[in-house]
Amino acid sequence: MTPWITAKRAIGRGWSVDAVTFLPELLDAARGYGRPVVLVSDHGHVLARPGHGKTAAAGVESARWRTGKPDVGEIAVTGPRVMLGNGDLVLPWREDIHYTASKAGYHGGASLAEMTVPVLVLLPALDHLPAGWHVLPREEVEPAWWNARPVPAEPAPKPGRARKAKPVEEAVPLFTVESPAVSLGGQVVATETYAAQRGFVPKAPDGQVVADVIDALVKADGVLTVGAVAAVAGRAARRPEFFATTLQRLLNVDGYPVLSLVDGGRRVKLELEVMRVQFGVREP
């Protein structure tokens, strides 16, 4: 019989395995028995945002839905699957709209957080991967904002009388600051060998993109998933597999395997020593 575990993650405990009750024990048992684990949740909700009071509107029936005509930040939904309001409702798609008194969170709107149900399938080993399935690297599914830190805004200048700036006398610096070392990827794309290789590749990606990918591979001990490489390259790698092949054409000088695809094309491998020899570069 398949065990089901129902748990709620306490807000503020962080996004980790220990945040869900009994999840570490379940994963350990699944690993021991060679069983996959499927994680799924019910519908989501939106959290209360500081400073967002209730929105005045007509036809209010709940915190996140009402009847009437949609306004800014709202949409109209209708049809046989709309079970309330005689099949005709207005839902807010913005997370900062709610029609009732403030609470910790709200259900019932049309935001992505409320309308999607995440499903995660975890395998104890790749040997258990079903036919036709493939592993999704974290870089392909993790939102850009997941680990982003807010950048503090610069304070606005205080209004006042404009003063004429005094000329600054050129002073002798107390310390001499050396220019930052060029990374290994930067050294590669600056070589004549790379310039020659680039001449054989139509619509080659920007040199900085290639340098960033090389540096990311060096940092990862020479191996990254194709998805991770695409994440580093950004918009330049809208077709990850084609982008990886393009990198091979740029870096595999005279057929030497500086870059290769392994694990059935799912991973990109960099031969660091071969690259150093072929492009005549050194450690940054």
Residues 20, 86: one domain? no
Angle of helix 240-251 relative to helix 226-233, nearest 10 degrees?
A: 80
Mean pLDDT score, 194-210: 91
Q: Kindly report, residue by residue over 132-161, the tens digit of the pLDDT.
A: 777 777 666 666 656 555 555 556 666 666
CA-to-CA distance for 87 and 77, rounded, in angstroms?
8
The answer for 194, left when phi > 0, alpha when psi is -120 to 50, beta otherwise, is: alpha
Give the helix/strand (H/E) hosting 270: strand 267-270
Q: Does residue 67 lie in a domain region?
A: yes
Residues 195, 248: one domain? yes
Q: Does residue 15 lie in a domain region?
A: yes
The parent domain of residue 89 ranges over 45-107
Confidence band, pLDDT 50/70/90 cuts, at residue 193: very high
Residues 9, 121: one domain? yes
Q: Kindly report, residue by residue over 237-255, the tens digit of the pLDDT.
A: 778 888 999 999 999 998 8
Number of domains in the chain: 3
Q: What was the pLDDT predicted at 146?
A: 60
pLDDT of 118 higher than 50: yes
Q: What was the pLDDT predicted at 169?
A: 58
From the centroid of its chain, how far is CA 18? 22
Q: What is the pTM of this model?
A: 0.44
